[in-house]
């Protein structure tokens, strides 16, 4: 946690953030992600994209995006993934009905984690996915670090455990919607947030 607390009054709505890099632009993968955001039955208040031109990796890219969000909720869409049309609507409904600060569903495609349907306890967190809906004030309080060395080295694991620590301490809910509402496209070039890995290696 970086200790930064947002003091700006956030407006109602959801901002979708898409962190990407130049190869996703030129390959056209980003177009599929954008089309899936545009097709949402719950339309976002804003869509933000940040292109990692200076090759700093997903942690830095997500920090830039998160700093620009001014709505009460932020939803992430990885730039090589595809949201089903009711993805945002379903996550927002669950967040409202359960008073949760973080809601995650699951994906179509090969499942290396095997956590689908496993109830989430923030005091003993396990890896979720990262195309999630999260309350912006909590997300900005936690922030994103660069990738670390460890079992889950990606920037998303640090974010998940940061949100979970706050939720556990404050008695807040994080909820798993056991439905497959997006597609994880494992195209053999996934970067795992690293600037020099997969299709982020560049030419």
Give residue-wise pLDDT tens across range 151-167.
Answer: 455 789 999 999 999 99
The pLDDT tens digits of the residues spanning 94-132 come to 999 999 999 999 999 888 888 999 999 999 999 998 999
Give domain status of residue 153, yes or no: yes
In percent, the amount of the chain with pLDDT more than 70 equals 85
CATH number of the domain that residue 180 is part of: 3.90.550.10
Report the 10 Å Cβ neighbour count for 106.
22
User: 197 lies in a domain?
Assistant: no
* DSSP state letters, 142-203: H--PPP-SSSS-SHHHHHHHHHHHHHHHHT-EEEEEEEEEEE----S---TT-TTSGGGS--
Number of domains in the chain: 1
Q: Please indicate, yes or no, if residue 72 is contained in any of the structural domains.
A: yes
pLDDT more than 90, % of the chain = 68
User: Could you tell me which of 160, 144, 44 has the C-alpha nearest to residue 101?
Assistant: 160
The predicted pLDDT at position 143 comes to 96
Inside any domain, residue 199: no
| 149, pLDDT greater than 60 | no
Is residue 198 in some structural domain? no
Any domain includes 200: no
Could you tell me if residue 195 is inside a domain? no
Range of the domain at 127: 12-184
Give tens-digit pLDDT for 178-194.
999 999 987 554 544 44
pLDDT tens for each residue of 41-87: 999 999 999 999 988 888 999 999 999 999 999 999 999 999 999 99
């Amino acid at each position: 946690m970086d200790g930064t607390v947002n003091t700006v009054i956030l407006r109602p709505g959801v901002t979708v953030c898409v962190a990407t890099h130049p190869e996703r632009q030129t390959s056209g993968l980003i177009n599929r992600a954008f089309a899936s955001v545009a097709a949402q039955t719950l339309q976002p208040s804003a869509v933000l994209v940040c292109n990692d031109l200076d090759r700093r990796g997903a942690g830095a890219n997500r920090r830039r995006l998160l700093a620009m969000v001014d709505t009460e909720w932020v939803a992430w869409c990885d730039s090589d993934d595809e949201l089903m049309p009711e993805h945002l609507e379903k996550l927002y409904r669950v967040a409202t009905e359960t008073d949760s600060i973080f809601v995650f569903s699951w994906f179509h495609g090969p499942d290396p984690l095997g956590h689908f349907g496993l109830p989430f306890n923030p005091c003993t967190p396990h890896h979720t996915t990262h195309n999630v809906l999260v309350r912006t004030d909590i997300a900005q309080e936690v922030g994103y670090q660069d990738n670390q060395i460890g079992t889950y080295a990606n920037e998303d694991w640090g974010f998940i455990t940061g949100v979970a620590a706050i939720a556990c301490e404050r008695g807040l809910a994080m909820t798993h919607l056991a439905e497959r509402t997006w597609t994880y496209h494992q195209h053999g070039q996934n970067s795992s947030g690293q600037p020099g890995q997969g299709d982020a290696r560049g030419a």
